[in-house]
């Protein structure tokens, strides 16, 4: 299911605007209840290093500090670049180079506590540090990829890294805080301990049991989202 959902995105090399437009078309084809209104601000760009863009309402905008980020925006980070977005619930989302991510849903649960987050990662890497207001959501925080869905669970804050170690290999690393889960068509696993992670190569094979990542592997992952 994830592979079908993202199939159009995997044809990335080509025209940037066309690829991003196809992404938005996929996002818009599956409306969800209790969403923030289309185009509503969900955060703002807090840091940028290098060249990055957002596709918003058919326009391609250069990302600069202070620029609002809206629901259904598609963020594209260029080679060697980094972007940090501060969300309305004080969550910090850092995107590494060559990353494409769509803000499909970011709702704080203003309607009966049914808020939820749904981000779509096509390629690249990210780090999420959830904020103090995250408990207001009342729903799941999930990042969907072609190989698996990465979810953040628990009432406390979570610090997690995720990204593509290769075109067909996804890594997920739990850095601190409450739990992380990884699920796909083959099953689900929980990554509950600090510095444990998983690596997946198939959307249908069950996620492997988490293992402790070496300091070298952790450093490699974190370098992909480091500004310095």
Total structural domains within the chain: 1
| Series of mean pLDDT values for 10-residue runs along the chain (228 residues) | 41 38 38 49 96 93 97 97 95 98 84 76 96 65 97 84 95 94 97 96 97 97 95
* CA terminus-to-terminus distance, the chain: 37
Per the domain annotation, does 228 fall within a domain? no
Residue 158: give the domain boundaries.
2-28+36-223
Question: pTM of the full predicted structure?
Answer: 0.81
Q: Give the Cα separation of 95 and 125 in Å (integer).
A: 6
Under 8 Å between Cβ of 119 and 149 = no
- Average pLDDT value over all residues in the chain: 83
Per the domain annotation, does 76 fall within a domain? yes
Q: Per-residue pLDDT tens for 70-110?
A: 999 999 999 999 999 999 889 999 999 999 999 999 887 65
Instruction: For residue 74, give the CATH number of its domain.
Output: 2.60.120.1440
DSSP 134: G
């Amino acid at each position: 299911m994830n592979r079908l959902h993202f199939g159009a995105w995997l044809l990335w090399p080509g025209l940037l605007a066309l690829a991003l437009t196809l992404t938005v078309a996929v996002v818009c084809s599956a409306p969800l209840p209790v969403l923030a209104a289309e185009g509503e601000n969900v955060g703002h760009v807090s840091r940028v290093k290098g060249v990055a863009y957002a596709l918003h309402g058919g326009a391609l905008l250069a990302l600069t500090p202070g620029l609002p980020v809206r629901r259904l925006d598609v963020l594209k980070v260029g080679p060697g670049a980094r972007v940090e977005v501060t969300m309305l619930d004080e969550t910090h989302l850092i995107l590494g180079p060559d990353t494409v991510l769509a803000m499909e849903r970011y709702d704080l649960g203003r309607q009966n506590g049914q808020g939820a987050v749904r981000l779509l990662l096509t390629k690249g890497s990210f780090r999420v540090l959830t904020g103090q207001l995250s408990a207001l959501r009342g729903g799941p925080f999930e990042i969907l990829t072609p190989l698996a869905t990465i979810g953040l669970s628990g009432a406390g804050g979570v610090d997690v890294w995720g990204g593509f170690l290769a075109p067909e290999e996804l890594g997920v690393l739990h850095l601190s805080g409450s739990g992380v889960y990884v699920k796909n068509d083959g099953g689900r696993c929980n990554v509950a301990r600090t510095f444990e992670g998983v690596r997946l190569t198939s959307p249908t094979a069950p996620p492997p049991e988490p293992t402790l990542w070496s300091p070298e592997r952790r450093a490699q992952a974190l370098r992909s989202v480091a500004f310095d």
